[in-house]
Amino acid sequence: MGRGIVLKCINCGQLCEGDQLNCESCQRTLHTEQGEGCSLIDKELEVYVGRQYRYYKRKWELEDKRIARWSWNGWAAIFNVGWLGYRKYYVPAALFLLLLVACDAFSYYMGFNVALPIINMVPLTFLLLVFILFGMAIFANGLYYQFAERRIYRIKAREIQDESVENYLIRDSGGTSKMGATIVTILAVASIFFSHFFFPTDRDIIQKVRTSSLYEYPFFSIGESFESYFRNPGWVYYRGTEGLELVEFQGVS
C-alpha cells in the first residue's frame, strides 16, 4: 500500500521520502525495504491486525483512491467506544466518554439541560454524539491505520534482533480484545449514570420529584398522590437565573 511508505522518523520527527532506507537527519533505519511485491510495513500490519487484515487492507486501498481518504466502517459507527476498546485503543475511548460527560456538565451549569424527548439527552450532547458517530463511521479505518503504524514503528525503533520476539510484541499490541470491549462498554454505561446523577436533565429532576414523598405521607410518592387526585396531570421544570430549580405540577381537580 502506498501510504505505508510515507514515513516520519520516530527518532527525530524528520519527514522522509518513500524510497529512503535511512533518515537523512539521524540515519535511523526507516524499515521501508520491499520484497515479494509487498512492503515490510504491510507484513507487519498483517501481524498487527490479525485475521481481519484483508478486510482492512481493502478499506485502506479504497481510501488511497479517494481525495478525502475515507471509507465506511459500520461496526465503529454502531459500537463506537466498544469498537475502540475491542481494537485496544483505550485512550481515545476514554477521551470520547469524557467529552460527552463534559458536554452534559456544560449544558447543566449553563441552564441548557432541557432534554430531548424519548432519549432523555440534552441537545448539545446529542449533536456531539451524532457528529462523533458519523466521524467514526467514515474515518475509523484511517485512524486505525495511523494508530497501528505508530505502534509498529515504536516497536521497530527498539531494534529487536529476534524477529519472532518482534512479531510477538506487534501481535500483542494489536489484534482484538473482548475484555477491553467489555470494560469500555461498562465504563460507557457508568458514565451515563454518572452524568444523569451529577448533571441531571429536566426529565431527571422531574422524575426525582415525582418519586419522592411528602414528610406526612412517607408511603406514597408525590407523583402517585397528585396524579391520582388531579385530572390532566403535567409536570413543568423551571431554571432560575441563579441556578434555582423548580418543578411545578399542573392539573385539574
pLDDT score of 36: 40
List the grid coordinates of 193: 449514570
Residue 201: C-alpha distances to residues 61, 100, 206 (Å): 45, 14, 9
pLDDT score of 60: 92
pLDDT score of 242: 75
> Strands (DSSP E) along 81-187, which ranges?
none
CA gap 177, 87 in Å, rounded? 6
| 60 close to 52: Cβ distance less than 8 angstroms | no
CA gap 91, 138 in Å, rounded? 20
pLDDT score of 158: 87
pLDDT score of 21: 58
Q: What contacts 166, CB < 8 A, 6 or more positions away? A: 155, 156, 160
| 238 close to 246: Cβ distance less than 8 angstroms | yes
Residue 140: C-alpha distances to residues 73, 126, 147, 172, 244 (Å): 7, 20, 10, 21, 43
pLDDT score of 32: 45
List the grid coordinates of 10: 520516530
Number of H helices, E strands in the chain: 10, 8
H/E element, 204 = helix 202-211
Phi, psi of 65 (to 5 degrees): -90, -10
Taking the chain (253 residues) in consecutive chunks of 10 residues, what is each chunk's mean pLDDT?
A: 55 63 63 45 90 92 86 92 95 96 95 92 96 94 92 88 92 94 96 96 93 80 86 89 84 85
Establish how many alpha carbons lie within 13 A of residue 169's alpha carbon, considering only the half-sphere containing its beta carbon.
Answer: 16
**CB count in 10 Å sphere of residue 121:** 22
pLDDT score of 12: 66
H/E element, 217 = strand 217-221
- Dump pLDDT digits (tens) for 204-213: 999 999 989 8
The pTM for the full model equals 0.77
Task: Enumerate the β-bridge partners of residue 246.
Answer: 238
